[in-house]
A and B are shown apart, each in its own frame.
Chain A
Amino acid sequence: MFAEIEPVMEKYAGVPGSLITILQKTQEAYGYLAEDAIFYIAQRTGVPASKIYGVATFYTQFRLKPVGKYILMLCKGTACHVNGAAGIEEAVSEHLGIADGETTADGLFTLDVVACLGCCSLAPVMMVKGPAGEETHGALTKDRVRAIIDEIGAGEKSLKA
């Protein structure tokens, strides 16, 4: 168990101040921080599990629940807000039947509303994090965001077929 993070553990377990890095690498490997992963890290680093939980819940990057294959990081930073991000969020929520932080039943999409992706001049913006890396989409409209989601969905279907 946890073989994927063994190299991380070897490098960081004994280095003071590395807890956040370890959590990031663990989440990268498994998509989220499972309870048993937290206990495992506690055992390896000697940091109490309660404290690890405290750190994990403090930072928005960490997730304690599994996520979908594609994470839709929808920006609601100031520039995006001013340019209609609330409407885009509504369109995504309605299209997929999920709210911020939730995952679709087929395990394909998780909606993650974030505060600024740094592409503010292309507002409204969404970054899609998938198996092949990140892709950022700008100048979103309700129609475009639905089309982006459908395209990913269709690609997945043809993969299965």
Chain B
Amino acid sequence: MRIVVGEGSCGVASGAKKTEAALAALLAGRGGGIALEKAGCVGNCYLEPIVDVYADDGSLSARYVHATEDRAADILEGAADDLLISGEDAAFLTQQERIVLRNAGLINPEKIEEYIAAGGYEALKKALTQMTPEGVIEEIKASGLRGRGGAGFPTWFKWDAARNADAGGGAKYMVCNADEGDPGAFMDRSVLEGDPHAVLEGMAIGGYAIGAREGVIYVRAEYPLAIVRLETAIAQAEEKGVLGEDIFGSGFGFSIRIKAGAGAFVCGEETALIASLEGERGMPRLKPPFPAQKGFWKQPTNINNVETFANVPFVIREGGAAFAAFGTEKSKGTKVFALAGKIKKGGLVEVPMGLPLKDVIYGIGGGIKNDRAFKAVQMGGPSGGCIPAALADTPVDYESITQTGAIVGSGGMIVMDEDTCMVDMARYFLDFTRKESCGKCNYCRIGTKRMLEILERITAGKGEDGDIEKLEELAVKIKDGSLCGLGQTAPNPVLTTIRYFRNEYEDHIFKKKCTAHYCKALIRYEITDACKGCTLCAKNCPVDAIAGKVKEKHEIDQGLCIKCGKCEDNCKFGAVVRD
């Protein structure tokens, strides 16, 4: 028997390490026969901590969810049936099609043997011993794989350009973009934590294809666990000889090192990333020359996203056609989405491209938390946009999503309900891009600030006639006047919310109303007849704006109220409402 505790960041945050310790302590007193292991995140983040029990023949015999430390003994005794995953929750996974996440949550990411046992490094062996670099690129071309970092550029094309670039006798570099800057996305983190070897293998295959002997992974500093797992994986791969000199006796050598980012969204952009790798301020530069011609240390460099690399071993091992069997005409394969926000079942979802949005949100994600009304889904983060509920039939592929004004982006999917204010969301993203603008282009640096000021004014109840038009005008100019993708896409969250939720802007500006009851300046707190007169609200009001006798309905003096919401937080009867 084998017990596996899911220890991705989400599992650990839910107490998985404590569960593991409790299991270990109990097992220590029992004598052998049962192995205790850990794995990455299987994807059902909303059910963490998750403990899997495998029978001796390797089959999964039980999956326990919300398996906190106090239930460890019950799990070992077989007295935790109440924690067994329900059929509905199990369907969260069975409805998916997993290529990138094939090993996530199943193998121990800190043991290369488990990756190898699952077919790992076979693709690298095949590439190095049976294929030419050109043949590898052909196979990638046949797969139709497009970059998963946001732009969706065909991977084979970039590899081909880097392969044909003249290194002038110097080196070429293979860089993995693990900066995962979209705030609200965690696909890359889960892959790095759950299956780091898939990324290393993909990079080595890519290195062989373009003629690079050195790889660098640029990981964001906020992912300490991912960095540790990658370091372990690299050390084990070197020991096994799947990284290093003369891999599989092919004469090809490849090494990989890690470089931790230092917290700058713009460093996800290729040329900024390269500047950062060189120890500089991460400022983008004009392209061309493209990194494929002049990249890291001015040498030919290819940059791909984590998920792009994680697809590569599958494509080489199973063939491009097997990958292309999934997806649509122009968007091949599967895509991992990080489902979060006001969703019942938040976690990692990998589906064939082209599946309708609603199948992801309702079919797999179980719909909206607390059964509120679905309003929109944000895709593409600060570069993307909000797709309204009315377009829930849109197939998730690059072209269809772009048509809505959003982008597939790196795979963040933040679900919003009727309590989410769309003007505030636009303000939120502009606040983000304004802070993250590197400052090189005037339009990006100053334009985003001006847009933010207008949005802040609107949400503060001081919107004016003409504000929407001013936002639209600025948006076009910022798009045109910015050098890199950050500025070129920064207005998208504003443009899509104006396009689909213009009425909310108008309500804020002209009626001084926030229909989502979110913007503080535009709401009133009121006490309803549900009030039992417990006096808690009055006691907690910092400005003594609430009056009323014990056991009698209380009243709020609107003139005194500062809208801090303490009354609502403290009311046990839901009698304080926002209007």
A contact set with B: CB distance below 8 Å: 16-21, 23-24, 54-55, 58-62, 73, 76-83, 87, 114-123, 125, 134, 136-138, 142
Closest 10 CB pairs of A and B: A121-B346, A78-B184, A77-B183, A59-B262, A121-B45, A19-B279, A136-B13, A60-B263, A79-B340, A116-B183
The residue in chain A whose Cβ has the minimal distance to the Cβ of B224 is: A134
CA distance A121 to B182 in the complex (A): 14
Given contacts A20-B279, A117-B9, A136-B9, 17 further A-B contacts (CB under 8 A): A21-B259, A24-B221, A55-B281, A58-B438, A61-B261, A73-B222, A76-B183, A78-B428, A79-B183, A115-B183, A116-B183, A118-B189, A119-B186, A120-B185, A121-B338, A122-B346, A142-B569
Stretch of B22-30, B126-134, B412-420 contacting A (4+ beta carbons < 8 Å): B412-420
CA distance A76 to B297 in the complex (A): 35
Between B222, B338, B381, the greatest number of chain A beta carbons within 10 A of the residue's beta carbon is seen for B222
B414 engages A116 (CB within 8 Å): no
CA distance A138 to B11 in the complex (A): 10
Assign chain B's interface to a size class: 35 or more
Which residue of the partner chain, among A16, A116, A134, contacts B279 with CB atoms under 8 Å?
A: A16
Residues of A within 8 A of B279 (CB): 16-21, 55
CA distance A17 to B298 in the complex (A): 13
Q: If A77-B184, A116-B222 touch, does A122 touch B13 (CB 8 Å cutoff)?
A: yes
CA distance A6 to B36 in the complex (A): 40
Question: Is B264 an interface residue when CB atoms closer than 8 A count as contact?
Answer: yes
A138 engages B184 (CB within 8 Å): no
CA distance A136 to B347 in the complex (A): 17
Residues of A within 8 A of B12 (CB): 136
Residues of A within 8 A of B263 (CB): 59-61, 114
CA distance A55 to B569 in the complex (A): 43
CB distance from B220 to the nearest CB of A (A): 8
CA distance A17 to B297 in the complex (A): 9
B10 engages A122 (CB within 8 Å): yes
CA distance A76 to B183 in the complex (A): 8
CA distance A121 to B45 in the complex (A): 6
Residues of A within 8 A of B195 (CB): none
The residue in chain A whose Cβ has the minimal distance to the Cβ of B436 is: A115
A62 engages B262 (CB within 8 Å): yes
CA distance A116 to B417 in the complex (A): 20
Within 8 A of A (CB), among B172-202: 180, 182-186, 189
Q: If A61-B221, A78-B414, A138-B10 touch, does A120 touch B282 (CB 8 Å cutoff)?
A: no
Residues of A within 8 A of B224 (CB): 134
B9 engages A121 (CB within 8 Å): no
Which residue of the partner chain, among B14, B180, B281, B432, contacts A138 with CB atoms under 8 Å?
A: B14
Q: If A78-B412, A122-B14 touch, does A117 touch B184 (CB 8 Å cutoff)?
A: no
CB distance from B379 to the nearest CB of A (A): 11
Residues of B within 8 A of A23 (CB): 262
CA distance A125 to B223 in the complex (A): 14
A120 engages B278 (CB within 8 Å): no
CA distance A73 to B260 in the complex (A): 18
Residues of B within 8 A of A118 (CB): 9, 180, 186, 189, 222-223
CA distance A86 to B280 in the complex (A): 33
Residues of A within 8 A of B185 (CB): 116, 120
CA distance A13 to B175 in the complex (A): 23
Between A19, A73, A122, A142, the greatest number of chain B beta carbons within 10 A of the residue's beta carbon is seen for A122
Question: Is B495 an interface residue when CB atoms closer than 8 A count as contact?
Answer: no
A79 engages B341 (CB within 8 Å): yes
CB distance from B335 to the nearest CB of A (A): 17
CB distance from B330 to the nearest CB of A (A): 28
CA distance A71 to B186 in the complex (A): 22
